[in-house]
Chains A and B, each alone.
Chain A
Amino acid sequence: MSLARVQAVMAAGIEQPRLLLRWRAQPERLRALGVDPAEIDLDVLAKFSGLGVKVRHNPLRAHYPLSFRLMSATAMEIAMFAAYAEFRSIRRLTWASTLPDRARDLLDFLDGWLDPADRIHARLRDALRYEDAIARLGPWHVATDDDDFVDAPDVPRLRGAVQLCEFGCDPRALAAALHASAPDLGAVPDEPHALCFWRAPGAEEVTVLDLDALGFHLLARIDGRRSVPALARSLGGGRGATAAVRAALATLAGFGLVQRSATPGARCA
């Protein structure tokens, strides 16, 4: 087998994993290229392409340390990035040039690839979404003017930038487990958690607040246009619900998360 041809076949397969799929289905094409299909391990080449894509995503590690720690501790990086390499190669996608866009592409892929029934996959999804929210409201945050609200006294608005997420566990308990030298993910209980990630106006840091069901659904509906009674109705409540919503809004206003004045703010991310 020619040196040049063998190395060209390997490089092409690593760079474009869709070719590995083709050669697996049609080994005679490899033979025509001068490479004996019995002598080339296409599966390992696919994994190697995953290593290259993993390395390409190293700059994300600083923003997603828990997620990468989990991937490493559970030895799933190579399989995951190999699948991602194949996914992108089949669609002939080019790499995003900015970190936030590259992260978004990866998370979009993983949304479909991770199996919610697999406990480790579910934990990874939690870690990714937790760190993604903090990155996007923290170092990657782009402030925007938002004047899409009704200037009315009974219309609450969010102050600053807010992102709401539901998790299958408490991501902070997951973080604590991952900081151990030998992480025990089984010790992280399955407990649905709703969190509010909040960057207050003028703040540099992201605050993470625990929410109950009412707080979560209420915050999700505050759009700067709905009045308090309209919010109560949208939550499925009657006249009595309005009082509960007012009480919840008072609590949220106490944190500084909600206001009813007409000064510029922002809405749910």
Chain B
Amino acid sequence: MKHFRPDPSRTQIGLAYGPPALACLDALPDALDYLEIPFEQLRHTPQAGDVQQRIPLILHCASVSVAGTVPPSAQTFDAIAATAARLRTPWIGEHLAYVSAEGLDDDGDAIAPSSLTYTVCPQLSEASVARVIDNYAAARARLGATPLLLENAPQYFEVPGSTMPMSAYIADVLAHCDAGLLLDLTHFLITCVNTGVDPRRELKRLPLERVVEVHISGMSTQSGVAWDDHAVPAPPEVFDLLRRVLDAVRPQALTLEYNWSGAFPQAILQQQLLRTRALLEAT
């Protein structure tokens, strides 16, 4: 099995696990340093991990619900910890978001607790920061020695009760825990577009010195909202933000997330890899 080894002299480039990444690995094995694979995928299809015989894996996760009020089960924590140990992942990337929530009594209609398959931006408030700090500490205790990175969520709407912008929320959380930042530049741009703030100005408000990994993917604007879209190439604004991040910090890993479509063109994928590598070499 191959294992990711951080290299202080350079940022390593990888792809999010999926058919385009596997096709790229077949065609250009030397173009990639690692694949990032979701815990949920490995839990559902353990044989997906066989690819580690060919390339190191970094574990990504959407099950801890670190900004949620309902924790994952002990079995889920144990499974994440066991997977992280087996892969010898350098860290676990988890969303600064939530996937589960308590049930409701809607005027006599009992609504069961929610368990989503897609992470949701939390309320951006002091209470939420406090909750994340507690959840993060609990997760660290359950997940063993593997470090945890927190990934900024895309914000599609104003969450009721929010008292601060996303950049302040991220800074506040990281000021109170030892997590590294998995900076998803597309999520960040989406949040800025949807909340009407200047991404360049907001970027300066993030604790960039905590960035360990960067994510890049596509964005589409539909029905009046900017959305995460891993089936289209990243827009130029994302690369502009990447250049600004690289001026401030040298992340250990940079992952292109084009994992939603088996039909994602390899030519575009390779263009994006070349563009990213050129930017890394130029800064």
Give the interface of A toward B (CB within 8 A).
1-12, 14-16, 19, 22, 29, 32-33, 35-36, 39-41, 44-45, 47-48, 51-52, 55-56, 58-59, 61-62, 65, 68-69, 72, 75-79, 82
Contact = CB atoms under 8 A, between A and B. Distances in A.
Interface of B: 19, 68-69, 98, 100-104, 106-107, 111, 113-118, 120, 122-123, 125, 127-128, 131, 156-161, 220-223, 225, 227-229, 231-232, 260-263
Contacts of A48: 120, 156-157
Given A39-B160, A41-B157, A61-B261, A7 B120 contact: yes
Contacts of A1: 123, 160-161
14 contacts: A3-B128, A3-B131, A5-B104, A10-B101, A12-B103, A12-B111, A15-B114, A22-B106, A44-B225, A47-B223, A62-B262, A69-B263, A79-B222, A82-B223
B128 A44 contact: no
Contacts of A11: 98, 100-101, 114, 116, 120
Contact of A61 (B116, B161, B263): B263
A56 B106 contact: no
A4 B145 CA distance: 29
A22 B98 CA distance: 24
Contact of A68 (B123, B157, B263): B263
A113 B227 CA distance: 23
Nearest to B118: A52
A8 to B, nearest CB: 4
A65 B261 contact: yes
Given A19-B111, A55-B117, A65-B261, A76 B157 contact: no
A19 B157 CA distance: 18
B72 to A, nearest CB: 14
Contacts of A9: 104
A61 B158 contact: no
A15 B107 contact: no
A43 to B, nearest CB: 9
A40 B160 contact: yes
Contacts, number: 132
Contact of A58 (B98, B101, B225, B261): B261
A145 to B, nearest CB: 32
Contacts of A45: 157
A7 B261 contact: no
Contact of B101 (A8, A19, A68, A72): A8
A68 B122 CA distance: 30
B100 A72 contact: no
A1 B221 CA distance: 30
A3 B125 contact: yes
A112 B113 CA distance: 32
Given A33-B104, A52-B116, A75-B220, A4 B69 contact: yes
Contacts of A12: 101, 103-104, 111, 114
A104 B154 CA distance: 31
Nearest to A76: B222
Contacts of B118: 14, 51-52, 55
Given A8-B103, A45-B157, A75-B222, 15 more contacts: A2-B161, A3-B122, A6-B123, A11-B116, A12-B103, A14-B116, A32-B107, A39-B158, A48-B156, A62-B261, A65-B263, A69-B263, A72-B231, A75-B220, A76-B222
Contacts of A7: 68-69, 98, 101, 120, 122-123
Contacts of B231: 58, 61, 68, 72
A4 B222 contact: no
Contacts of B107: 29, 32
Contact of B161 (A14, A39, A58): A39
Nearest to B126: A3
A29 B107 CA distance: 7
A189 to B, nearest CB: 25
Given A33-B104, A58-B260, A75 B221 contact: yes
Nearest to A69: B263
A62 B157 contact: no
Contacts of B220: 72, 75, 77
A29 B108 CA distance: 10
Contacts of B98: 7, 11
Given A9-B104, A11-B120, A52-B116, A3 B69 contact: yes
Given A8-B103, A75-B221, A79-B222, A62 B263 contact: yes
B120 A14 contact: yes
A267 to B, nearest CB: 32
A12 B227 CA distance: 20
